[in-house]
Amino acid sequence: MDSLNQRNYMSQWVKIAGTILFEKFEISSIDAREDVIVSGYVSTLCSDDRKTQDECTVPYGSEGKLEHFIMPESGVVVFYGALRDKGDEIVDEMQEYLARISKDQMISQGIFEIVIGGEKKVIFQYEQSDEKWKIIYC
């Protein structure tokens, strides 16, 4: 890869915004790093002082990770993130992540929009009848 293409790729950002409406969930624990665990699935987030990325269970870039905000009263979890140095591989990473956090969960609705490098857009929607995430726009 020449230096110009490498520089363009290295400065690429992926922006993610999404929401899941769980029919039922419980906040099972908060660990020592204050990363919330929702039914053991939503996040065992990588801490900012981690030595390796191996412990990270959410999609991440060189600067930033997928974050979330939980509204326990309503069952809504809002996800957001700006991940640097990511490309098209984020689509597979998100598909795996969404499948993992949805496993054995009762979900009413879910939608995620991913914008890669400000140009490419991918939208995932949760299909309740199939209990899986599908790409509805790419």
E strand map for 46-131: 67-71, 76-84, 106-116, 120-127
Please name every residue paired with 27 in a beta bridge, in sequence order, or none if there are none. 38
Q: Which pLDDT value is given to residue 27?
A: 57
Handedness of CA 15, 26, 127, 91 (dihedral sign): positive
- Going by C-alpha positions, the residue among 82, 80, 83 that lies closest to residue 68 is 80
* pLDDT higher than threshold 50 for residue 135: yes
Average pLDDT over residues 67-94: 89
d(CA 119, CA 6) in angstroms, rounded, equals: 17
Q: Which pLDDT value is given to residue 131?
A: 93
Q: Specify the higher pLDDT residue, 58 or 15.
A: 15
Query: Are residues 83 and 56 in contact, defined by beta-carbon separation less than 8 angstroms?
Result: no
> What does the radius of gyration of the chain's CA atoms come to, in whole angstroms?
16
Please name every residue paired with 82 in a beta bridge, in sequence order, or none if there are none. 15
Using one digit for the tens of pLDDT, what is the confidence trace for 4-36? 444 455 579 999 999 999 887 665 544 433 444
Q: What is the DSSP secondary structure assignment for residue 51, as one 8-state letter?
A: S
Domain residue ranges of the chain, discontinuous segments joined by +? 12-137
* pLDDT higher than threshold 80 for residue 41: no
